[in-house]
Each structure stands twice: as structure tokens, then as C-alpha cells.
Structure 1
Amino acid sequence: MSFPDIDAFEERAAIAEFDGGCTRKAAENLAAQAQGFRDAEAYWQWLADYVVNRRPP
């Protein structure tokens, strides 16, 4: 898996939420899935692990 693109995640989630009518949770799940993650929880966990370990999980 490549390094997550936080800007792309936020932009895609915002578009899905405001233009697509999704809930914030659904929009974040879609944005995470677009980057190859199972859902937003897995996306945020990957980033948290990266911050703690200072290397990709």
C-alpha cells in the first residue's frame, strides 16, 4: 500500500458529503476506500501507527 494522501482524502470526503449527500462517516469511508483502505478507521489507524513508529506500518 502506498503512503496515504491526506489532502486527497479530505477533498474526496468533503465532495461525497456536501455534493453527494453522504453522512460524514460514509464520506470518509469512501475516501479511504479510494486509497485502498477497508474503511476510514483503517485509514486513520495506518496514519496513527505511522506517527507513533515514524515509519510506514
Structure 2
Amino acid sequence: RMAAPPPPPRMAAPATPPRMAAPPPPRMAAPAPPPRMAAPPPSRPAPAPAAAAKKCPPGARC
């Protein structure tokens, strides 16, 4: 007489998949700053800030 097939393995609760509710986005809170150029190249002297200030009336945004 054939024995009844074994019952399927008990899986009261399905195995929880790895938690990935929302994969964290790559951390880019601020875009990478452009390459720092603390001092302009020597071939191009920076304009004097005083000269630029004289061109603008006081309180104006330039």
C-alpha cells in the first residue's frame, strides 16, 4: 500500500527577504565641488577688488 506523499515542508511564515524597503541612494548631499583654484593662474592677474567696488554704486549687487 502506497504511503501518502510527505507533506510539504512547513513554512508557517515565508522567509523574510533581505530588508530593502528602499535602497539608500548614493550619498550625494552636495554635488562635488569644482576643483579648487585658490589663486588664479599667474599669467592672469586677478582684477583688484577695489576697482570692482568703485564701478558699483554702494549697496548695488554686482
TM-score category of the 2 structures, normalised to the smaller one: under 0.3
Q: Greater relative contact order: 1 or 2 (C-alpha under 8 angstroms, separation 6 or more)?
A: 1
Name whichever structure is richer in helix by fraction.
1
Q: TM-score, normalised by structure 2?
A: 0.18
Point out the structure with max Rg over C-alpha.
2
